[in-house]
Amino acid sequence: MVGGPAVPCPIVSTATDRASGSSSDAVPSPRASAGPAPDSGAGLPHHVRTAFGVREADVRPVVVGGIPSWRCADVLIRPVTDNALAAWSARVLDTLTVDGLRVARPLRSSDGRWVVAGYSACEYVSGTPQPRYDELVATSLRLHTATASVRRPRLLDDRDGLTARADAAAWGERAITMEPSAGGLLFDDLARYRRQIRLPAQVVHADLFGTVLFDGDAPPAILDLVPFWRPVEWAAAVIVVDALAWGGGDPALLGTWAHLDGWPQALLRALLFRVALHAQHPASTAESLRGLDYAADLIVQRL
């Protein structure tokens, strides 16, 4: 079965948020496009290059996982706006090993810091985001097997931005204000299908759509972690919702992963999360909402 048409979604991703200098509360969602690369290597401060040991390396502007960045030999330097999140991600990835997955190892500066003047560095890994959605869900499951022992980060306690509110609203933990025409009405309609779900929570990466890099037959690669304290099945469902709503994904994805525990309600929570985020976000559009409507029609049939 052929999937729905790809629908541009202008809501910025976690990665784009960090690059643009907007709210440090991550707003993960699909990228509408890769965006422009930095205009020149001159945009990367010399003292940052020095701190990460690549002052003399050739600097090439690149866009990796949606983030305008700089490749300096075998090092990738990217801007961040949430230093605490970037440092936490680096500490976890520094020792994380995932079977069948490439991890871009974070690099410390010469004085041991993970973040210097709003920039982080990691090993350069090849690849681009691609619509290999079944592989992306499988990547999520492998990654979260490895993160099962990661302790809940305290930084989650202080989040109160759009993403945190949307996440809490999706699980019925918080009532939030949503624009009716941007998804608020859809949220209310979908929420009536919500039933109790009992699945264990752990650290999961909820921004994998559009950030995992594929390069031929090489294992998929990840650059960082965007933590949520939710079930593994929910994180997989977010990928499926994103693929259906905005990525032209095949509806067969819904059945491929139906063996996962609590799948229908995990899908619903993932859909509610995206709708709640859309209904709050100033960059929401009628076109991107149509993508969510399309995904909702498919998912409601399974509830």
**pLDDT tens digits, one per residue of 103-135:** 999 999 999 999 999 999 999 999 999 999 999
Mean residue pLDDT across the chain: 88
pLDDT at 36 > cutoff 50: no
Q: SS3 letters for the chain?
A: CCCCCCCCCCCCCHHHHHHHCCCCCCCCCCCCCCCCCCCCHHHCCHHHHHHCCCCCCCEEEEEECCEEEEEECCEEEEECCCHHHHHHHHHHHCCCCCCCCEECCEECCCCCCCEECCEEEEECCCCECCCCHHHHHHHHHHHHHHHHHCCCCHHHHHCCCHHHHHHHHHCCCCCCCCCHHHCHHHHHHHHCCCCCCCCCCEEEECCCCCCCEECCCCCCEECCCCEEEECHHHHHHHHHHHHHHHCCCCCCHHHHCCCCCCHHHHHHHHHHHHHHHHHHCCCCCHHHHHHHHHHHHHHHCCC
pTM for the complete prediction?
0.88
- Banded pLDDT at 81 (limits 50, 70, 90): confident
Q: Which residue has the higher pLDDT, 53 or 27?
A: 53
> For the segment 220-247, what is each residue's pLDDT rounded down to a tens digit?
999 999 999 999 999 999 999 999 999 9
Residue identified by tokens 């996962």 is 260
Rounded Cα distance between 43 and 117, Å, is 13
Nearest CA to 269 out of 250, 301, 296, 297 is that of 296
> For the segment 144-165, what is each residue's pLDDT rounded down to a tens digit?
999 999 999 999 998 888 999 9
Q: Is the separation of the CB atoms in 277 and 29 below 8 Å? A: yes
Rounded Cα distance between 178 and 184, Å, is 5
- Banded pLDDT at 43 (limits 50, 70, 90): confident
Compute the average pLDDT of residues 67-74: 92
**What's the pLDDT score for residue 21?**
35
Q: Which residue has the higher pLDDT, 42 or 214?
A: 214
**What's the pLDDT score for residue 1?**
46
Q: Is the separation of the CB atoms in 3 and 249 below 8 Å? A: yes
**What's the pLDDT score for residue 19?**
33
Backbone φ and ψ of 107, nearest 5°: -120, 135
Compute the average pLDDT of residues 11-36: 41
Q: Is the separation of the CB atoms in 34 and 66 below 8 Å? A: yes
**What's the pLDDT score for residue 42?**
56
Rounded Cα distance between 249 and 2, Å, is 8
pLDDT at 7 > cutoff 80: no
> For the segment 178-200, what is each residue's pLDDT rounded down to a tens digit?
999 999 999 999 999 999 999 99
**What's the pLDDT score for residue 141?**
97
**What's the pLDDT score for residue 66?**
76
Nearest CA to 269 out of 293, 227, 233, 220 is that of 233
Compute the average pLDDT of residues 17-43: 43
Query: Two tokens at 50?
Result: 């020095």
Q: What is the torsion angle, in degrees rounded to the nearest 10, for the CA atoms of residue 219, residue 223, residue 226 and residue 230? A: 10
